[in-house]
Amino acid sequence: MTEIEDERSPLLQTESRSEDTLVETLQESRSRWRSIRIMYITMFLSSIGFSIVISSIWPFLQKVDKTADTSFLGWVIATYSLGQMVASPLFGAWSNYRPRKEPLIVSIFINVAANVLYGYVHTFPSHNKYYMLLSRAFIGFGAGNVAVVRSYVAGATSLQERTTAMANISASQALGFILGPALQAALTSIGQTGVSWHLIDLELNMYTAPAFLGAFLGVANIVLIVALFREHCVVDLDRMKSINGNIQGSSEVLENSYDGIDLIAVVSFNILFFIILFVFAIFETIATPLTMDMYAWTAKQAVLYNGILLVGVGVESIVAFMITKLLSKRFKDHLLLLGGFVIIFLGFFVLLPWGNQYPPIQWTDIKNTSNYNSTELKYESLTQPSLYLSAERVGCPVQQVWCQHIPSIHLVQYILSAVLIGVGYPVCNVMTYTLYSKILGPKPQGVYMGWLTASGSGARTLGPVFVSQVYTHYGPRWTFGPICGIVMAAIILMGLIYKRLSQFSIQYQRLQ
């Protein structure tokens, strides 16, 4: 049976205890899966709302407020996830008592308004960086509908359908995170000046256009939900009782469980998901400042080149996801998850600086120092003419003392790291959701998916703050070294729960 046929298989009537009585018509099945696929789109667009401006936040922040530094950049990026972490349980609880259309539409409307605020940050006379911080916080608050999306998909699918549906949800989210910068790269052609409409104080440039595009996509999402989304709920009470009865008979898997769910596995997967999102948020946050420091790229070059690189990573991730689905037929899920963590570890390990080549220092700062003679200035103007031909200050800021004694990261290292992380991240993301969904079984998963969302949001809150503080003061060596240690801790945790997951996989196959 193909995947599409499996998705469209009609559910069985549990009340009559007859496995031959159909519970939904073909029209109802189509409506149910149309609503589920709208949730895929909602998850995808929510992820794009986060990543579409990631590579341009730093130069835009410098443009609208000269007092902002890389430490504040970390807070600007982190507030998105902080807002999402606060909103997720609120919207989740709302969806338990009211039609899910309500929290979905309200959350997306908040997202649209916050994107418009981001596009108008430059119009405020002062404290622009705080308005940018506020706009990103509300964009994240609107993205709290992720918990509603996951709980709806969990409730609108049977146990057999749920694994595929949750995998598709995770793929939609991962794809949005990765392809968002591709849209940003495409919009760099507008330029830093762009076009202006003074009547409404509108400036459409490479920094604001992604925000307005995000607002437009949000409006389109609201239209889809109003026009096509319908509430559906799959109730398989008898099958749940039967399966739970069988599961409770396995003391090997559930000796530390509550209500038929292995709590050790649940907590472990929340920790693993936290680590996955933590390290990927760090990579997204540091990409633009790192390349501007290491390779003396201008703001426009950093946004464009990182966007192009992430387009390639996005295509690579799509291929990785397709290969993962094929490999899952031959290898167990937890083996693929372990392999994904190993690849991520290698991706950050290759970023560790080595050699005797150092980052270029911003020449405008050095020229004003008394201990820098004209001979040295003339030599550097010949060896690195790009630093002098550009009116924009480029290179590693002299305030970052580590620039003078920490070797630079070679461009090949950076590209290789992006390639490895582009493979490891989607594999870990998809397999975490898949295994987590299987561990929860046929029960309603709203509360547990809320925990997972909070774990990911917490990671995206702490990751940018961590990297902005550590990178600014200590450089890439003390940034990527501890990250390698964190990923290695995740691999060790996988080893500790490996036997439990293996036993669960066998038990799950037996139940299926």
pLDDT value of residue 27: 81
Q: How far apart are CA 245 and CA 388, in angstroms?
A: 74
Q: Report which of 310, 400, 290 is spatially closest to residue 353, judged by C-alpha positions.
A: 290
Cβ proximity of 174 and 423 under 8 Å: no
Give percent of the chain above pLDDT 90. Answer: 12
Cβ proximity of 80 and 146 under 8 Å: no
**Domains observed in the chain:** 24-236+247-357+407-511 (1.20.1250.20)
In a 13 Å sphere around the CA of 71, the CA atoms on its Cβ side amount to 8
Number of H helices, E strands in the chain: 21, 2
Cβ proximity of 203 and 4 under 8 Å: no
Map residue 368 onto helix, strand or coil. coil
Task: Examine the pLDDT at 326 and tell me if it is beyond 90.
Answer: no
Give the residue-averaged pLDDT of 275-283: 87
Cβ proximity of 441 and 159 under 8 Å: yes
Which residues is 204 bridged to in the sheet?
195
Q: Report which of 308, 293, 336, 303 is spatially closest to residue 424, judged by C-alpha positions.
A: 336
Give the residue-averaged pLDDT of 488-510: 71
pLDDT in tens, 7-49: 333 343 333 333 434 456 788 788 888 989 999 999 888 888 7
Q: Is 194 exposed, middle or buried (0-12, 13-18, 19+ CB in 10 A)?
A: middle
pLDDT in tens, 75-111: 887 788 788 888 887 887 788 778 888 889 999 999 9
pLDDT value of residue 413: 92
Span of 395-399, 410-414, 421-425 with lowest mean pLDDT: 395-399
Give the residue-averaged pLDDT of 135-141: 89
Which residues is 258 bridged to in the sheet?
261
pLDDT value of residue 185: 76
Q: Which residues contact 65 (CB under 8 A, 6 or more apart)?
A: 127, 128, 129, 132
Q: How far apart are CA 260 and CA 448, in angstroms?
A: 13
Cβ proximity of 316 and 343 under 8 Å: no
pLDDT value of residue 147: 79
pLDDT value of residue 506: 53
Give the residue-averaged pLDDT of 422-428: 87
- Burial string for 485-504 (b: 16+ CB within 10 Å, else e) reads ebbeebeebbeebeebbeeb
Give the residue-averaged pLDDT of 388-405: 71
Q: Report which of 20, 356, 313, 290 is spatially closest to residue 174, judged by C-alpha positions.
A: 313
